[in-house]
Amino acid sequence: MSETNTRDVSTMLQAKLRCVTPPSEKQLAQFKEFLSRRYHTASAADVNLTLETDPSVGGGFILSVGSDEFDWSTRGRERQFEDQIDGARQRASGHADQEKIMSVMQAAVEEFHLTAKASEVGTVETVGDGIVTISGLDHVQYGEIVLFDNGVKGMIQDIKSDGVGAILFDQEGTIGEGSHVTGTGKQAGMPVSDAYLGRVVDALGNPIDGGESIKTSEYRPIENAAPGIIDRQPVTVPMQTGILAIDSMFPIGRGQRELIIGDRQTGKTAIATDTILNQKDKNCICIYVAIGQKSSTIAGIVNTLKAHEAMDYTVVVASTASDPAPLQYVAPYSATALAEYFMYKGKDVLIVYDDLSKHAVAYRALSLLLGRSPGREAYPGDVFYLHSRLLERCARLSEELGGGSITALPIIETQDGDVSAYIPTNVISITDGQIFLEQDLFFEGQRPAVNVGLSVSRVGGAAQTKAMKKAAGSLRIDLAQYREMQVFTQFSSDLDEATKNQLAQGAVLMELLKQPLEAPMSVSDQVISLLVAENKKMIHVPVKEVKDYQRDLLAFYADQHPEIAGEINKSGRLSEALIESVLTAADEFASIQEKARA
Ligand code: ATP
Ligand code: MG
């Protein structure tokens, strides 16, 4: 039933009233009066109110004008009450004592006023590949969570003059053209708590390891502003990777962001996982974020971590290659929210993003689906901001804020060793240095395949222990000279003694830097190995036997001179006397070896 006057209906305010029992004439006039005031029509006669009978409304009504909806249905009123209670429950969760919780809940019930609140209802225009375009949601914000009528949640990711675009956090299900969407006024958040340690979760924090559900105490927004300058302090505490080639030449400090970059299958993940293994008993929480990886690869990593009891202090946040692009896109942000939870509690956190190349690809996919214009290599214009706002959240906090830190090891995969491609150069410019892994070295058997010339650590030097700094001394320069000389001398057969010595020494050092998987070295072992080798006390060892010699040497120190390692670990310094005793012990070991051979 509709009401028409002599005037043109199409110029009037169109409204629809859904209810079970039609309202009386008086009530109808009141509705029109209300709408006329609300939407500023000249008079109540300018409102064209259509009535529709809808049993699902229950007692009450739903009044809709354009995309606005005034919900006074049974379900709508229930929902208002539930929201009120939910809010109170969240407020109460901070309190420990039962009485306080009860009073908060009590107040929530008493203060509850039922109102026919206006909410905006949008309509789905298109849906596909985890992306939805919506019309009619005129008052949502960027990053706001929206709710579809089948219960699926999404996040607003694009705002245009003629509609908004959202990414879905779940399979599309029954969402189709014409489905209804409402805004929630909330930003996307990640549940956080200590209970996450030891678990494997998806990009939204839901467990996917088959274990019980995770008890969470708090929510943190997945997008969060990075700490400001005043909130930070310089990097001075080392983050030991346990990998000799890195700790000696490219030291990483807590709060630093060190990029691991290299072609496919060059041992990038291995460096990150070995670093996690090395954090055992070092009071550091680790988060491994897998982005767009195969489920089998992730399972392999989880198994390695479990086998070394590293899951006790580790969380794995996984978005696999089969997850929709939006989930792969949010995974590093939500993992960082979890890291921030620990950091603001004063803890040290190590976070590995494996890898950001796939993250950029996922973002490119969803940007193109949202209809953004493609730029260089088809990435959208804001792809730099994608990674800078993520990595800037890693910091070492000031003492006033608890002194916690997030150290990041982002990983980037290059094509054919090309570090000057778009995404690699972006991330290189954001991070505080990079470990460059080279395919040729890897295939030669030089593993970890760290390219000494192209790798750098820009802030870690301040965090390196004095002992390591002294022991590593001229290692970088020696290796650089060795590689240069190798190239020049490969054609000539008659070399002078000094050159031969330098080549032999270089070969020993290169061999020394080889390190098997899952075998992190302690600081004292690293310092002793380097001191002995740098003082040319291994130069007589045939290259093939260097690793065995090193192993026996370290066993000898641990057995016969445990005080040396104790002193290095305790003081973190190398006094002249200590160096002297290290070298004397090395001679001692050499003569034992000599005798055994004779
Ligand atoms: P992808 O590009 O597939 O992610 P990746 O660069 O992460 O590869 P990894 O998966 O870490 O490389 O390593 C590739 C292979 O090399 C693995 O089989 C691993 O066992 C081996 N590997 C890595 N580092 C070492 C090492 N130091 N010693 C011996 N083998 C190693
Ligand atoms: Mg890998």
Mean of pLDDT values over 258-265:
97
Quickly state the pLDDT bin for 93 (edges 50, 70, 90): low
The pTM (predicted TM-score) of the whole model is 0.86
Q: Tell me, using a 6 A CB cutoff, whether residue 258 lines ligand 1.
A: no
Could you give the CA distance from residue 262 to residue 416 in angstroms, rounded to a whole number?
A: 9
Q: Write the pLDDT tens digit of every residue in 281-331.
A: 999 999 999 999 999 999 999 999 999 999 999 999 999 999 999 999 999
Look up residue 43 and give its two tokens: 């008079």
Please state the atom number of ligand 1 nearest to the C-alpha of residue 265: 8
User: Given phi > 0 = left and psi -120 to 50 = alpha, else beta, which region is 210?
Assistant: left
Q: Would you call 458 a catalytic residue per the annotation? A: yes
| Greater model confidence, 348 or 489 | 348
- Tell me, in angstroms, the distance from the centre of ligand 2 to residue 267's CA: 7
Q: Tell me, using a 6 A CB cutoff, whether residue 358 lines ligand 1.
A: no
Asked if pLDDT for residue 1 goes beyond 60, the answer is no
Asked if pLDDT for residue 186 goes beyond 60, the answer is yes
Could you give the CA distance from residue 510 to residue 476 in angstroms, rounded to a whole number?
A: 11
Please state the atom number of ligand 1 nearest to the C-alpha of residue 514: 27
Asked if pLDDT for residue 101 goes beyond 50, the answer is yes
Q: How far is CA 358 from CA 108, 176, 410, in A?
A: 46, 29, 12
Could you give the CA distance from residue 335 to residue 387 in angstroms, rounded to a whole number?
A: 14
- Tell me, in angstroms, the distance from the centre of ligand 2 to residue 169's CA: 25
Pocket mutation for ligand 1, best pick of 361, 437, 447 (most atoms within 8 Å of C-beta)? 447
Q: Tell me, using a 6 A CB cutoff, whether residue 263 lines ligand 1.
A: no
Please state the atom number of ligand 1 nearest to the C-alpha of residue 293: 4
**300 with 467: CB under 8 angstroms?**
no
Asked if pLDDT for residue 379 goes beyond 50, the answer is yes
Pocket mutation for ligand 1, best pick of 246, 265, 409 (most atoms within 8 Å of C-beta)? 265
Check 458, 483, 551, 573 and give the catalytic one: 458
Question: Could you tell me where the beta strands, DSSP code E, fall in 344-416?
Answer: 348-354, 405-413
30 alpha carbon, distance to own chain's centre? 54
Q: Write the pLDDT tens digit of every residue in 402-426.
A: 999 999 999 999 999 999 999 999 9
Look up residue 97 and give its DSSP letter: S
Question: Could you tell me where the beta strands, DSSP code E, fall in 414-525?
Answer: 433-437, 456-457
User: Given phi > 0 = left and psi -120 to 50 = alpha, else beta, which region is 160?
Assistant: beta
Q: With CA atoms as reference, report the closest residue to 272 among 303, 301, 235, 312.
A: 301
Q: Tell me, using a 6 A CB cutoff, whether residue 264 lines ligand 1.
A: yes
Q: Write the pLDDT tens digit of every residue in 423-478.
A: 999 999 999 999 999 999 999 999 999 999 999 999 988 999 999 999 998 899 99
**End-to-end C-alpha distance for the chain, whole angstroms:** 111
Nearest-CA residue for atom 2 of ligand 1: 264
Q: Write the pLDDT tens digit of every residue in 540-562.
A: 999 999 999 999 999 999 999 99
**355 with 288: CB under 8 angstroms?**
no
Asked if pLDDT for residue 3 goes beyond 50, the answer is no
**359 with 292: CB under 8 angstroms?**
yes
Could you give the CA distance from residue 574 to residue 469 in angstroms, rounded to a whole number?
A: 9
No. of H helices and E strands in the chain?
Answer: 18, 20
**Window from 68-72, 130-134, 327-331 with minimum mean pLDDT:** 68-72
Please state the atom number of ligand 1 nearest to the C-alpha of residue 413: 2
Mean pLDDT computed over every residue of the chain = 91
CB atoms within 10 A of CB 567: 20
Task: Give the pLDDT score at 94.
Answer: 61
Could you give the CA distance from residue 247 to residue 468 in angstroms, rounded to a whole number?
A: 8
Could you give the CA distance from residue 18 to residue 49 in angstroms, rounded to a whole number?
A: 10
Nearest-CA residue for atom 21 of ligand 1: 267
- Tell me, in angstroms, the distance from the centre of ligand 1 to residue 267's CA: 3
Task: Give the pLDDT score at 117.
Answer: 63
Nearest-CA residue for atom 19 of ligand 1: 267
Q: What are phi and psi of 349, to 5 degrees?
A: -125, 140
Q: Tell me, using a 6 A CB cutoff, whether residue 268 lines ligand 1.
A: yes
Asked if pLDDT for residue 63 goes beyond 70, the answer is yes
